[in-house]
Amino acid sequence: GFTRSFSSSNSLNAVKTVTVIGGGLMGSGIAQVSAQAGQNVTLVDLNAETLQKALKSIENNLKRVAKKVHKDDVAKIDSFVKDSIARIKTSIKVEDGVNSDLIIEAIVEQLDVKQQLFNKLDELAPQYTILTSNTSSIPINAIGSGIKRKDRLGGLHFFNPVPVMRLIEVIKTDDMSEETHQTLMEWGKSVGKTCITCKDRPGFVVNRLLGPYSAEALRMYERGDATMEDIDIGMKLGAGYPMGPFELCDYTGLDTNKHVMRVLYEMTKEEVFRPVPLLDKMVAEGKLGVNINCLSGDASAKDIDVAM
């Protein structure tokens, strides 16, 4: 499980320093799993308050992990948490994070903002630095369209909650070198995740399949075929999902789901991704989900939106 501790890989290209840009839900989770695996992490966010909240949430989640590994050994729990936290530096300046082997961007899901950031990183970071995005729906090629190091551009797509979900989708752009691909796969393994490789296609693997699933659940409910509760129970007990589609939508955020679906619809024009009126209505009413409870209670819906 996610509680195992992993030693870093010994390959020549092994990543030892990571910069995570964006201190929201996803960014803080990525910083946490990196630090607990022994990486030196720089967490960058333009907002100092977001960084403080991120550190608090990382500390709380590290305690949960530590308690599972070290049971009642208070001294070991304390040192695991302290040592991991000590590996995380924070900064409000991107410039402070450019000298890393790997940079993972987890900022707002807006193409132009991401492009600007990647152009800046390409300019400032050393040649060896690999630039990646945690985007859930924007093509990596578009994000990196203005950069020169196309062989060192890729996606590292994590899942919420990052400390628990064991997958990383490694997005392999057409220009990514084999060496970069290998380095990313090894890095993912070294932070305790299983990596799958996916081309730079709309929704990659997981969201491409989860999108139609949750849209169909919403349409089923809209038609009055079954209650939300029964649909959730159905998928949990009949298909073995840990959460039903409505619980999951609540957890990942209704606004995030709407956003992912809209982007997938624009890119694929497939009917199955057509916006669902019920979801639009609920988001317009500010009903964004209960995901906040599932963290440590200290990320706002806005931070979650930013992170995703």
Of residues 65 and 131, the one with the C-beta less far from ligand 3HC: 65
Binding mask 115-154 for ligand 3HC (x = CB under 6 A): ---------------------x------------------
Please, which of residues 289-308 interact with ligand 3HC by CB under 6 A? 308
The answer to the question of residue 288 lying near ligand 3HC (CB under 6 A) is no
Of residues 46 and 164, the one with the C-beta less far from ligand 3HC: 164
The answer to the question of residue 198 lying near ligand 3HC (CB under 6 A) is no
Measure the CA–CA gap between 181 and 158, rounded to whole angstroms: 16
Q: Is 266 exposed, middle or buried (0-12, 13-18, 19+ CB in 10 A)?
A: exposed
Q: Which of 133, 169, 247, 291 is catalytic?
A: 169
The answer to the question of residue 242 lying near ligand 3HC (CB under 6 A) is yes
β-strands 153-157, 167-172 pairing: antiparallel
Q: Is residue 181 among the annotated active site residues?
A: no
The answer to the question of residue 164 lying near ligand 3HC (CB under 6 A) is yes
Which amino acid would we find at residue 212?
P
**Quick one: which of 258, 262, 265 has its CA closest to 301?**
258
Measure the CA–CA gap between 251 and 239, rounded to whole angstroms: 19
Binding mask 56-85 for ligand 3HC (x = CB under 6 A): -----x--xx--x-----------------
Q: Residue 167: phi, psi to the nearest 5?
A: -105, 145
Q: Is residue 70 among the annotated active site residues?
A: no
Token pair 């393994």 in the structure block, residue: 189
Measure the CA–CA gap between 78 and 62, rounded to whole angstroms: 10
The answer to the question of residue 170 lying near ligand 3HC (CB under 6 A) is no
Q: Is residue 207 among the annotated active site residues?
A: yes
Closest residue to bound ligand 3HC by CB? 136
Q: Is residue 296 among the annotated active site residues?
A: no
Measure the CA–CA gap between 185 and 130, rounded to whole angstroms: 13
Catalytic residue ranges: 136, 157, 169, 207
